[in-house]
């Protein structure tokens, strides 16, 4: 084990010289970085490795990235060497995530952190591969399907791809109620976006058929979801809370949602009064992506 760790550290001597040329770390700091890395590598080569060993190592490397960026901002300019050092740290984190996930493929939280890291650093191609692999390993995880769908919508602007992710997720997670809520959130958000575009262009809803389709899509999601879970009152009222929590301009959406729920649940008014504030606070606490 010691030989393997020493061999790995010795191969990074050129990297240490690279850090020194970039003049972003002192000699003492560079020595400390490699001592810490050596300690982490020893921990990762034990027979039984806890996931926290990987997460602590990753956190250490991410802190180095943040420190490097703070120092670069303080200087007011960044050289090509500094950018190269930052890229080497990012590559190191990617390698660590891959090593960790080879041993803990079912760790959904780690997959999500890896995907978030790729998203934050603008590596869209790698993020796409990470999401694909995560879904292959954990097809029954509703959170991963929702993450993939909203990434397609917010980053790629592809609502059709986002809908496909939700539909595939609902097929794999037939009892995943959170997916229905997030699917509805997507459709309401898309309808609001199209309505805002109409207003900016001086158009009406009738002038933009896609806006009608978007509103209709949200209603269809609600209809199917309420039919799948007809006896779950809180589940259905949560759709009202989602619409309330997104924007004041969705009052027509809220009214339509309440009409649909009222047609399926007796004494909905009594439940609505009790659950509106409760559901709304829950939406705010669990804000989605």
Considering the domain boundaries, does residue 239 fall inside one? Answer: yes
The reply to whether 286 and 184 lie within a common domain is yes
Q: Is residue 122 part of a domain?
A: no
Q: Same structural domain for residues 181 and 287?
A: yes
Same domain, 186 and 282: yes
Last residue of a domain, one of 104, 132, 166: 104
Residues 98 and 182 occupy one common structural domain: no
Instruction: Compute the distance between CA of residue 120 and CA of residue 127 in angstroms, rounded to an integer.
Output: 10
Domain span at residue 92 reads 1-104
The length of the chain in residues reads 289
* Together in a domain, 100 and 183: no
181 and 97 share one domain: no
Inside any domain, residue 130: no
From 49, 78, 104, the end of a domain falls on 104
Task: Please indicate, yes or no, whether residues 186 and 285 belong to a single structural domain of this protein.
Answer: yes
For the chain, what is the domain count? 2
Distance CA 15, CA 102 (A): 25
Note whether residue 110 is domain-resident. no
> How far apart (Å, rounded) are the C-alpha atoms in residues 73 and 229?
52
Q: Are residues 288 and 180 in the same domain?
A: yes
Among 52, 80, 104, the domain-final residue is 104
* Residue 272 lies inside a defined structural domain of this protein: yes
Measured CA to CA, the distance from residue 138 to residue 78 in angstroms comes to 40
pLDDT tens, the chain, 289 aa long: 556 556 566 666 677 777 888 777 888 888 898 889 888 888 888 778 788 889 999 999 999 999 888 888 777 656 777 788 888 889 999 999 999 998 888 888 899 999 989 888 877 888 889 999 999 988 888 888 999 999 889 888 888 899 999 999 999 887 778 899 999 888 888 888 877 777 777 766 555 555 445 567 777 888 888 888 877 777 877 887 787 776 554 556 666 666 666 666 555 455 455 455 555 454 454 544 4
Predicted TM-score (pTM) above 0.75: no
Q: Closest Cα partner for 64 from 42, 112, 103, 96?
A: 96
């Amino acid at each position: 084990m010691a030989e393997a760790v020493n061999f790995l550290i010795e191969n990074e001597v050129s990297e240490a010289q690279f850090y020194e040329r970039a003049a972003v770390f002192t000699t003492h700091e560079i020595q400390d970085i490699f001592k810490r890395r050596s300690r982490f590598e020893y921990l990762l080569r034990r027979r039984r490795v806890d996931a926290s060993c990987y997460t602590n190592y990753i956190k250490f490397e991410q802190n180095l990235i943040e420190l490097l960026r703070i120092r670069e901002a303080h200087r007011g300019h960044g050289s090509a060497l500094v950018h190269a050092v930052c890229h080497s740290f990012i590559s190191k984190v990617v390698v660590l995530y891959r090593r960790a996930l080879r041993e803990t493929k079912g760790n959904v939280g780690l997959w999500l952190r890896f995907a978030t890291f790729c998203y934050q650093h603008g590596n869209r191609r790698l993020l796409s591969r990470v999401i694909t692999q995560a879904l292959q390993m954990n097809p029954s995880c509703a959170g991963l399907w929702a993450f993939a769908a909203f990434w397609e919508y917010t980053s790629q602007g592809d609502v059709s791809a986002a809908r496909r992710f939700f539909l595939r997720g609902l097929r794999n997670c037939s009892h995943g109620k959170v997916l229905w809520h997030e699917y509805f959130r997507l459709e309401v958000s898309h309808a609001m976006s199209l309505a805002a575009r109409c207003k900016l262009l001086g158009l009406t809803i009738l002038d933009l058929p896609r806006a009608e389709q978007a509103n209709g899509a949200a209603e269809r999601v609600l209809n199917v979801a309420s039919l799948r879970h007809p006896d779950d009152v809180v589940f259905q009222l949560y759709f009202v809370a989602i619409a309330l929590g997104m924007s004041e301009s969705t009052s027509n959406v809220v009214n339509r949602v309440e009409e649909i729920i009222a047609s399926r649940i007796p004494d909905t008014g009594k439940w609505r009064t009790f659950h509106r504030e409760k559901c709304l606070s829950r939406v705010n606490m669990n804000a989605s992506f």
